[in-house]
Every structure is written in structure tokens, then in C-alpha cells.
Amino acid sequence: MLKEAVAVAPDLYEADETAWLEAMADLIRQGRWHDIDYPHLQEFLSDMARRDRHEVESRLVVLIMHLLKWLHQPDQRTRGWRATIIEQRHELARLAHGGVLRNHAEAVLADMYAEAVERAAGETGLPASTFPSACPYTFEQLLSSDVPGNDE
């Protein structure tokens, strides 16, 4: 069965990515390096890294946007905002607990803050100038349970 899957690995990649991944994992376990579909493996790994970086960026924006709303509209605070803050903090901690994704999060924090300000201004109707011009949090502070919204 595996021999058959290897013969159509490029087609399998397009038809059933999970089956293709399983076939590649089997080839690696067997040490059959010459049968691996390297072009698609490179593409898959690059896409995976891009998706992970994008997820970190997206979660940073949502977390910061909700913190800004929480801090600048205290009379409109909801449990949903608090739940979003907590969820995004936990997911960011899981994704970027160390290594490349943590470094990426720290590197893009200022840009993601600017996007979060734009979104928060759009959702709240407050002018963007209402919010600090630079991110008032370090990445470590964003992951902290002391972040506003977690205990108020």
C-alpha cells in the first residue's frame, strides 16, 4: 500500500493532504529518504510556518484590541470581552511559549499594536489618538494573568 502511495505522492498531496502526510511520515520512519516528496514537503512546511506566524499575529491583534476596549470603555465591559482576553492570552502562551514564534511575536508587536488600535477605534468609535501611540505592554506582560480583564 505504501509503495503505491509513494508512486502517486505528488498527486496524493493535492488530493488528500493528511494521507500524503502519513505517507511521508511512514517513509521517514522507514528511512526511505529517496522516496520522499521533497518539493511538496518544503511547500507544506513553509505554509505551516506562515500559518503559525499569522495565527500569532492575529491573536496578538485580538488580545490587544480587547484590552484597549476594556481599558477605554469601562462602562461597556462584558464577560465576553474578559473571556476573549483570557482565551487569546492562553492561546498565545501555547503558540509562542518559546523559540521562533515567541521571537516573531516580540518582533511584530509594534505593528500588531497599530492594527489593534485601528480596529479598536473602528469598533468603539473613539479616535485612534485616544489610545497610546506605542504599545504599553511587553509580550511577557500580555501573557501575564495580571493583564487587565483577567481579574476585574
Q: Does the predicted TM-score (pTM) go above 0.85?
A: no
- Hey, what's the torsion of the CAs at 115, 118, 121, 122, to 10 degrees? -110
What residue has cell string 516580540? 106
The residues, ordered by sequence, that sit 6+ positions from 17 with a Cβ below 8 Å of its Cβ are: 44
pLDDT in tens, 102-117: 999 999 999 999 999 9
What confidence tier does 146 reach under pLDDT thresholds 50, 70, 90? confident
pLDDT in tens, 69-102: 999 999 999 899 899 999 999 999 999 987 999 9
pLDDT in tens, 30-41: 999 999 999 999
What confidence tier does 13 reach under pLDDT thresholds 50, 70, 90? confident
| pLDDT higher than threshold 50 for residue 14 | yes
With 0-12 / 13-18 / 19 or more C-beta atoms within 10 angstroms meaning exposed / middle / buried, residue 126 is middle
